[in-house]
């Protein structure tokens, strides 16, 4: 999912005009592929942890994300960025709360169910976003998108129905909170944009990581993470989240929204393959069938939309 729910609409809203970018289209595509690869390491890295569990994972990952962004943001946007945060208003902080929900639910879900299950569930985010935007801000749902929602819903339903019979649906329900919070976040972003007040994505991520770390701290105590765990969680905070979020915004200055949506699907493929190769976590046949329906629906929707606009 892109990266705990980072979606093309949010990246588009956060990006400065494309003309200011120095990247060529090919360079932006290559960079976006690298971004999805960085996003995809969460599952396999989490499976290498020794002692850290549940909310402790959330706390340390969010904590290291805050530390990294406090260094990255002034370097990229100047110290003015902190004044922007102070003057950001309620919608910026509401976006931060959505990010906090995504960060927390994502890490907790990884401790409750398989990496493949979490990633496929998150992949349904763009279609869930279309429904939320239709309900709350009146965005029209195209016929192709309605069909994609139906097919993806069948895929998710098939996955969840099997898990319900096995009594192992808790992790999937927690994972569903990630695209749900992402859909609310995108809707807030669009509402703010319509009012002439664009939400800057990366500062919102910083706020979300800070809120996530503060809220999860009491639940993370007492700490059990080893030095080995802390090193891996620092990698998640810096390499898997902070750096790719900043780079994705750079890519959004050059790439169109459908291109980013399609490239972001590589996170699902990379993530499942890395967990399979690095942690021996083979995807079940249920996840493969359901995932094929979800990913296929997303690809169909984006390609059909791209062709109609062309």
Q: What is the mean pLDDT of residues 254-258?
A: 76
Mean pLDDT for the chain overall = 83
Q: What is the mean pLDDT of residues 77-88?
A: 76
CA distances from 259 to 167, 262, 272 (A): 38, 5, 21
DSSP state of 266: H
**Does position 301 have pLDDT exceeding 50, yes or no?**
yes
Name the percent of the chain lying above pLDDT 70.
89
pLDDT of residue 15: 46
Q: Quick one: which of 289, 296, 299, 264 has its CA closest to 116?
A: 289
Q: Using 50, 70 and 90 to split pLDDT, how confident is the model at 19?
A: very low
Within 8 A by CB and 6+ apart from 116, the residues are 271, 272, 275, 281, 283, 284, 287, 291
**Does position 18 have pLDDT exceeding 80, yes or no?**
no
Q: What is the mean pLDDT of residues 26-45?
A: 92
Q: Of 18-32, 223-237, 280-294, which has the strongest mean pLDDT?
A: 223-237
Q: Using 50, 70 and 90 to split pLDDT, how confident is the model at 168?
A: low
**Does position 256 have pLDDT exceeding 80, yes or no?**
no
Q: Quick one: which of 281, 268, 269 has its CA closest to 113?
A: 281
Q: Of 5-14, 144-153, 178-187, which has the strongest mean pLDDT?
A: 178-187
pLDDT of residue 25: 80
Q: Quick one: which of 270, 296, 245 has its CA closest to 3?
A: 245
**Does position 6 have pLDDT exceeding 80, yes or no?**
no
Q: Quick one: which of 38, 120, 136, 176 has its CA closest to 298?
A: 120
pLDDT of residue 166: 56
Is the alpha carbon torsion for 64, 7, 131, 175 positive or negative? negative
Q: Where are the domains of the chain?
A: 8-309
**Does position 86 have pLDDT exceeding 90, yes or no?**
no
> Based on C-alpha coordinates, what's the Rg of the chain?
18
Q: Which residue has the higher pLDDT, 167 or 110?
A: 110
CA distances from 239 to 27, 35, 36, 42, 145 (A): 20, 9, 11, 10, 33
């Amino acid at each position: 999912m892109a990266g705990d729910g980072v979606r093309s609409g949010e990246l588009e809203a956060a990006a400065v005009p494309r003309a200011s970018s120095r990247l060529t289209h090919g360079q932006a595509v290559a960079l976006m592929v690298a971004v999805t690869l960085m996003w995809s390491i969460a599952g396999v890295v989490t499976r290498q942890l020794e002692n850290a569990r549940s909310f402790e994972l959330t706390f340390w990952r969010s904590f290291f994300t805050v530390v990294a962004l406090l260094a990255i943001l002034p370097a990229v946007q100047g110290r003015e960025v902190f004044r922007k945060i102070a003057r950001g208003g309620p919608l910026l902080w509401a976006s931060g709360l959505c990010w906090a929900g995504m960060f927390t639910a994502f890490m907790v879900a990884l401790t409750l169910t398989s990496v493949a299950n979490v990633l496929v569930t998150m992949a349904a985010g763009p279609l869930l976003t279309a429904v939320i935007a239709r309900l709350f801000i009146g965005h029209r749902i195209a016929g192709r998108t309605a069909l994609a929602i139906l097919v993806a819903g069948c895929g998710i339903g098939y996955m969840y129905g099997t898990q319900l019979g096995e009594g192992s649906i808790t992790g999937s329900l927690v994972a569903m909170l990630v695209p749900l919070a992402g859909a609310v976040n995108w809707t807030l972003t669009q509402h703010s944009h319509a009012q002439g007040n664009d939400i800057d994505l990366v500062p919102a991520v910083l706020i979300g990581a800070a809120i996530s770390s503060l809220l999860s701290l009491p639940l993370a105590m007492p700490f059990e993470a080893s030095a080995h765990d802390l090193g891996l969680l620092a990698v998640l905070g810096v390499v898997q989240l902070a750096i790719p979020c900043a780079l994705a915004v750079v890519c959004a200055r050059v790439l169109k929204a459908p291109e980013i949506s399609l490239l972001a699907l590589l996170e699902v493929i990379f993530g499942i393959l890395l967990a399979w190769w690095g942690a021996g976590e083979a995807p079940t046949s249920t996840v493969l069938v359901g995932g094929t329906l979800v990913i296929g629906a997303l690809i169909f929707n984006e390609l059909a939309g791209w062709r109609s606009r062309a």
